[in-house]
């Protein structure tokens, strides 16, 4: 199917900008990118603004939006702890009110709607790896709850709209994703380590570094998004999209040092509240229902990401 008019909320963010770019590669697609630039960056979409099929709207999804589109991808919400803890009330609003407003729009238009949920719905998991059937272990009162519980509530809203209004929904749970266009100051582990290594600064590890994460390169993730949106109507999700390769935080730091040729040393600080000890997706359903699995190795993805941050740092000198 070609020639779709597609709304992408959070379209100037790290993932949103890659999604907009990828969608524009299909002939005839018209993209409406919506962002309030709380954490999104104009530089992420500069190359797209000369495309006649790309339109940018500055808008906050906590307020209703009235546009005519064929599909909706709802990505609007700050996703890094530094950003979402800066204004936790607004973070919850972005997830919950944003979902309500986008679902209302999808209902009026009878359009399929995609929700970018998160592995954070699993909290600090006691089941490993995490399958979609696991209900999670989330602290509803903690510093991360504005994001974790906001996304959990958004999933509830999506499935209630699906059951009550027969809305076509697609829900994915995103596991740690990295790549070009990550925000320099987003506080996430991959960008933190690369920036510190390139500057020759000590690399900060929180805790003992033995906690694990699974890192998915952004191009793989976006292909998972498209596979999900283009899947059969009965495939609603939630479906885990991530790379099941599991690494300790210390292993990641050592790999970044090696790939950058940095002389950085490791320093250890106290682990933040509610920081998960393990994180790894079970992607069995993604393989079976979408025919999707990640292709880019951590080393290959880091090489590309390091090259991006080298250019960013050069431009700021």
Type and span of the H or E element at 22: helix 14-24
147 counts as catalytic: yes
The pLDDT score that the predictor gives to residue 83 is 86
Domain ranges (residues) in the chain:
5-182+216-244+280-295
pLDDT, residue 316, reads: 79
Q: Which CATH superfamily is domain 5-182+216-244+280-295 in?
A: NAD(P)-binding Rossmann-like Domain (3.40.50.720)
- CA 44, chain centre distance (Å): 15
d(CA 222, CA 19): 6
Catalytic residue among 73, 84, 122, 147: 147
**Confidence (pLDDT) at 268:** 95
Calpha distance 32→8 (Å, rounded): 6
User: What's the pLDDT at 96?
Assistant: 98
CA 132 from chain centre, in angstroms, equals 17
Contact 202, 256 (CB under 8 A): no
> Cβ neighbours of residue 45 under 8 Å, at least 6 residues apart?
11, 12, 17, 20, 33, 54, 56
* Amino acid 33: pLDDT: 98
Taking alpha carbons only, the member of 9, 2, 135 closest to residue 79 is 9
Successive 10-residue mean pLDDT values, the chain, 317 residues: 89 98 96 96 96 98 98 94 90 97 98 97 95 97 95 98 98 97 90 96 94 96 98 98 97 98 95 83 98 98 98 86
- Output the pLDDT for position 148: 96
Predicted pLDDT of residue 274: 72
Give the pLDDT confidence of 63-104 residue by residue, as tens digits: 999 999 999 999 999 987 888 888 999 999 999 999 999 999
Name the one residue in this structure whose structure tokens are 């390169």. 217
pLDDT at 1: 52
């Amino acid at each position: 199917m070609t020639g779709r008019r597609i709304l992408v909320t959070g379209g100037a963010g790290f993932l949103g900008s890659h999604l907009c770019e990828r969608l524009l590669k299909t002939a005839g697609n018209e993209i409406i990118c919506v962002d309030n630039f709380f954490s999104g960056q104009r530089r992420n979409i500069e190359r797209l603004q000369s495309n006649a099929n790309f339109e940018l709207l500055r808008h906050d999804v906590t307020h209703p939006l009235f546009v005519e589109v064929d599909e909706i991808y709802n990505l609007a919400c700050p996703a890094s702890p530094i950003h979402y803890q800066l204004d936790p009330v607004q973070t919850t609003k972005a997830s919950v009110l944003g979902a309500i407003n986008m679902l209302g729009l999808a209902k009026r238009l009878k359009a399929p709607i995609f929700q970018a949920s998160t592995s954070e719905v699993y909290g600090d998991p006691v089941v490993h790896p995490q399958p979609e059937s696991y209900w999670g272990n989330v602290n509803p009162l903690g510093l991360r709850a504005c994001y974790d519980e906001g996304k959990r509530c958004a999933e509830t809203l999506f499935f209630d709209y699906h059951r009550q209004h027969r809305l076509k929904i697609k829900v994915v749970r995103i596991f740690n994703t990295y790549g070009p266009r990550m925000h320099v100051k987003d506080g996430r582990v991959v960008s933190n380590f690369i920036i510190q290594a390139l500057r020759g600064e000590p690399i900060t590890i929180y805790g003992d570094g033995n906690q694990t994460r699974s890192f998915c390169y952004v191009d793989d993730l976006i292909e998972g998004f498209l596979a999900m949106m283009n899947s059969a109507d009965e495939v609603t999700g939630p479906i885990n999209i991530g790379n099941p390769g599991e690494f300790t935080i210390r292993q990641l730091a050592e790999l970044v040092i090696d790939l950058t040729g940095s002389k950085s040393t490791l320093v250890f600080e106290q682990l933040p509240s509610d920081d998960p000890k393990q994180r790894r997706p079970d992607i069995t359903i993604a393989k079976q229902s979408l025919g999707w699995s990640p292709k880019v190795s951590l080393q290959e993805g880091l090489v590309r990401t390091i090259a991006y941050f080298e250019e960013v740092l050069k431009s700021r000198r």
